[in-house]
Structure 1
Amino acid sequence: MNDTRTDAGDLAEYGYQQELRRTLSAWAVFAIGFATISPVVGIYAVVQLGFVFAGPAWIWAVVVAFLGQLLVATVYAELSSQFPMTGGVYQWVRRLGGPRLGWLTGWLYLASAVASLTTVAYLGAVWLYMLVADGTPSPLTHVLLGVVFVAVALGINLLGVNPVKHFLNAGIVAEGVASIAVSLILLLFARHNGFGILFETLGAEGASQGSVLAGFLTCLAVAGWAFLGFDATTQVAEETEQPRRSVPRALLRAYLFVAFTVLLTGLAVTMALAKPRDAVAGTLADPVFTAVTEGLGAWSEKPFILVVLIAFFACAISIQTYIGRAVFAFARDRQLPFSTTLATIGPRQIPYVSLIATAVLAALGLLLGLNGNAAATLIAFGSGGFYFIFLTVALVALLARLSGRWNPAAGQLRLGRTGLIVNVAAVVWLLFEAVNIAWPRTELAPVGGSWVQTWAVILVFSVLFVLGAAYVVFAKPHTRLPQAAGPHPNAEEVEAS
């Protein structure tokens, strides 16, 4: 029988004490995963760009992204079942690929996670503005409202784990109303198009020099944003009851439920739009809002905005939650400057210094929005970093599996030979999608933007990689690892534990 004492003993085998409060149930972990992936944030952020580049056929890019990321989520579920520690990808790669690669992976992961919080805050700021005013906000107002999002997410997290759980539960309710309930109403009572429209582009290829394939690939690069965040469940493993069992199950359930909701919403909006050609032409600023208010009536505008806002805030809160844990995991291994301070646990048993530090960095990232509409750039930037991390983790897992350094059967999630097939397929998918997202596209940069914004993903992550590599070479953080937190026990020891 498993309880908090055996969970703590399990953690001790990796050289860590139980510092965080283990109060998260399987449902709470699911809520964190669901709120972080967030069907509202995911689909509402990409639907406009999807129409512009692929027309109504954009929905198929979402299907492809869903299937590809399901492979990745399955690999992550296997890993989380065997390594029930806060830190996720940093812990896995360090143990399976070595401490230097683990440090670089964790470094880039932190940058990508902060970028994702910036992106959600920037996108959510539009809905916050719509709640109190008409039209679109000025760049400065947009950025300031984004800072409000980051500040609220930080404030809720600083209150402790229980308030976070309550807000995430509210977010799930909001997601259900804004996505599932509204989508069903649109499909049943406000449909303007038949299923045949899902196979039409309506001339969207014109945005990609007349190439349907190029438009679809651009749409696929953007659609990848809709399926990020499932790894948030792995960052709270040390606060979860029975993590070997609860975390991988919550990860997969959250991913599948979000994917269903995303596809349902995308289908409903596409079939409910009375003038889909306006969305393709880019003259329709928000296809989702238009479809909902036309389908339900003008009375629904403010209530719908409020529900969507709750979902955005829940997503920002959840992202802030797992970023703080990721920094804490890095810092307690003395892998960062000011590690002792960043690893501080407050009276509410939360890593409050890490939470504050990452909130400040995310707020600074919002400055990109001062140069006009930065939504596409931020989405590409956030997605690009995560897909590079996905690829690194999947590749390290595959090599460790093939070399015998990792025995997936030692975890509670056992896929046998199917796991190897899934791992190989995940690597192939991620090689393709990582390149596709990082590919420099002028059509995704702000109008009148510089070449730096076109090459943002490659340039920024190249700089981050060089800085990280230099830090590894000169500061040698891997030599500061606590002895007890070194390599992971062999498969037999894990299985015995």
Structure 2
Amino acid sequence: MAIPRQAMEIDSGEKRLNELGYKQELKREMSLFKTMAITFSCMAVFTGTPLYGQSLLYAGPAPLLWGWVVVSFFTWFVGLAMSEICSSFPTTGSLYFWAAHLAGPRWGPFASWCCAWLETIGLVSGIGAQAYSGAQALQIIILLSSGTNKGGGYFAPKSVFLGIYVFFILVWAVLNSFALKVIAYLNIISIWWQVIGGLVVIIMLPLVAQTRQPASYVFSHFELSSDSTGIGSAPYAVIMAVLLSHYCLYGYDAAAHLTEETKGADRTGPFAILSCIGIITVFGWAYNVALTFSIQDFSYLYDPNNETAGALVPAQIIYDAFHGRYHNVTGAIVFLWIIWGSFFFCGLSVTTSAARVVSIFHLFS
């Protein structure tokens, strides 16, 4: 009697798990594109928006933009190493499973324990960071929609801000209670939202701005703001400015957390990691360049009496560009909604990644 073809076939990722003596517990329902969508959303195009103003203030635009290039360069080495290990150990436990095996029998348990805790803390912090970013973006959208800070608009107080923050976390938790394929479909929307929205913002913002900063300012200007930041050391200021890049270029390990649910994960996992690093490297840098070229008045960006209450520098840059040309805030609000969507999808995906990390702890307890 012939054995059915379906019975003879086995997924390459599952085959690799069998070779490791690892019993698969989750269904393989994820395609390459869906895994890429979730990983891309974890990184997100506009993640650095809340930190842009502070990074710009520390040392000017040159360290911010060239710092991104330097951090991206070294991130590629981390991504390449992670991709190689992911192809050999395509497990949901990912990083701390890798640490347990690669550190050897003597140091494996300790290395795995340290990695698991650091990873958990990082992911939980990531959820909080995106909830904060989403709440801040919505706070500014409401302020501009209701008349701006100068026009008596509503600037949500801390209590309302906290309520929005908690609401986002609860929404992400509820959505992640559904099957992973539901999250995957939402993140397919996310990847198109961010790619198309990112192109619109990056291309249109400098075109809308009535005046643009010269390239010499954007790419070579270095200036300490010791009075505002309290930092007089140039090297230290540069390090603080580069933190923006470190914050943005993370999250690509999400593909590794999803490998047990992904078809052909020994191949698709590494591809998702590297492709997402590549896209965010280009889009993130281009977004920062577009913002910097579009600055109208540097000192006014930080004025607590400006239209955005000095709360979110990129929002003021966008407002100045649209109001200066069209004398209304509609375009600025549309752009801020695009940015807000990036935060929402990013928080949703980081929650998905965190759930996978924590759910597999029982295998190592």
Give the TM-score normalised by structure 2: 0.84
Contact 2:58 2:241 in 1 (8 A): yes
Change (3 A) 1:39 1:290: same
TM superposition shift of 1:60? 1.9
Tell me the equivalent position of 1:168. Answer: 187
What does residue 147 of structure 2 align with? none
Higher-RCO chain (CA-CA 8 Å, sequence separation at least 6)? 2
Amino acid at match of 1:115: S
Contact (CA 8 Å) 1:120, 1:316: kept in 2 or not?
A: yes
Q: 1:23 aligns with which of 1, 12, 29?
A: 29
Q: Distance in 2 between matches of 1:16 and 1:129?
A: 47
Structure 1 unaligned regions, length at least 5: 336-497
- Once the two structures are overlaid, the 10-residue window that deviates more, 274-283 or 172-181, is 274-283
Q: Which residue of 1 aligns with 2:39?
A: 33
The CA deviation at 1:217 is: 1.1
> 2:213 corresponds to which letter in structure 1?
N
- Does 1:112 find its partner at 2:122? yes
* Residue of structure 2 aligned with 1:51, choices 53, 56, 59: 56
User: Per the alignment, do residues 192 and 136 of structure 1 end up closer, same or farther by CA in structure 2, a change over 3 Å counting?
Assistant: same
Distance in 2 (alpha carbons) for counterparts of 1:308 and 1:241: 31
One-letter code aligned to 2:51: V
Aligned twin of 2:268 = 246
| Maintained 8 Å contact 2:30/2:263 | yes
Structure 1 residue 286, shift from structure 2 partner: 2.2
Provide the identity percentage.
22
Whole-Å separation in 2 of the counterparts to 1:253 and 1:130: 32
Distance 2:241 2:74 in 1: 15
Determine helix, strand or coil for the equivalent of 2:20: coil
Please list, as runs of the form range in 1=range in 2, the aligned pairs for 1:83-232 lying within 5 A after superposition.
83-97=89-103, 98-133=108-143, 134=153, 136-190=155-209, 192-198=212-218, 199-206=220-227, 207-232=229-254
Larger mean CA deviation between 179-188 and 146-155 belongs to 179-188
Count matched residues: 333
Change (3 A) 1:66 1:7: closer
- The CA RMSD over aligned residues, in Å, is 2.3
- Partners of 2:13 and 2:266 within 8 A in 1: no
Q: Of 7, 18, 23, which residue of structure 1 is paired with 2:13?
A: 7
Q: Say which SS state the counterpart of residue 193 (structure 2) adopts.
A: helix
Instruction: Work out whether residues 182 and 292 of structure 1, in 8 Å CA contact, stay in contact via their aligned partners in 2.
Output: no
Q: Name the CA distance, whole Å, in 2 between partners of 1:5 and 1:66.
A: 33
* Match among 303, 308, 333 for residue 302 of structure 1: 333
User: What is the distance in 2 between the residues matched to 1:8 and 1:296?
Assistant: 53
The structural deviation recorded for 1:189 is 4.6
- TM-score, structure 1 as length reference: 0.63
Q: Which of these residues, 290, 295, 320, is aligned with residue 316 of structure 2?
A: 290
* Cα distance in 2 for residues equivalent to 1:96 and 1:301: 50
Letter of the 2:190 partner, please give it: G
Quote the offset at 1:17 in angstroms. Answer: 2.9
Instruction: Please give the alpha-carbon distance, in whole angstroms, between the structure 2 residues aligned to 1:279 and 1:67.
Output: 30
The CA distance in 2 between the partners of 1:75 and 1:149, in whole Å, is: 34
Q: Which moved more, 1:319-328 or 1:275-284?
A: 275-284
Once residues 253 and 11 of structure 2 are traced to their aligned partners in structure 1, the CA distance between those partners, rounded to angstroms, is 25
Distance in 1, Cα, partners of 2:231 & 2:26:
54
Deviation at 1:266, TM superposition (A): 0.3
Query: Is the 1:50–1:223 contact (alpha carbons within 8 Å) kept by the matching residues of 2?
Result: no
Looking at structure 2, the residues matched to 132 and 326 of structure 1 have their Cα atoms a distance apart, in angstroms, of 35
Alignment-derived partner of residue 326 in structure 1: 357
Asked if the contact 2:301/2:317 (under 8 Å) is kept, the reply is no
Whole-Å separation in 1 of the counterparts to 2:241 and 2:12: 47
**Is residue 263 from structure 1 mapped to residue 294 from structure 2 by the alignment?**
no
Give ranges in structure 2 of 5+ residues lacking alignment: 144-152, 324-328
Provide the C-alpha distance between the structure 1 equivalents of 2:181 and 2:252, rounded to a whole number of angstroms: 21
Counterpart-to-counterpart distance in 2, 1:286 and 1:129: 10
Contact in 1 for aligned 2:208/2:322 (Cα 8 Å)? no
Note if contact 1:77-1:252 (Cα within 8 Å) is conserved in structure 2.
Answer: yes
> 1:178: how far off?
3.6
Is residue 2:345 matched to residue 1:314? Answer: yes
> Residue deviations 1:356-400, cap 9 Å, x none?
xxxxxxxxxxxxxxxxxxxxxxxxxxxxxxxxxxxxxxxxxxxxx
Question: Secondary structure of the residue that 2:116 maps to in structure 1?
Answer: helix
Q: How big is each residue's C-alpha offset from its partner over 1:288-335, in whole Å with a ceiling of 9 and x where there is no partner? A: 22222333442113322322222111101110111111112222x142
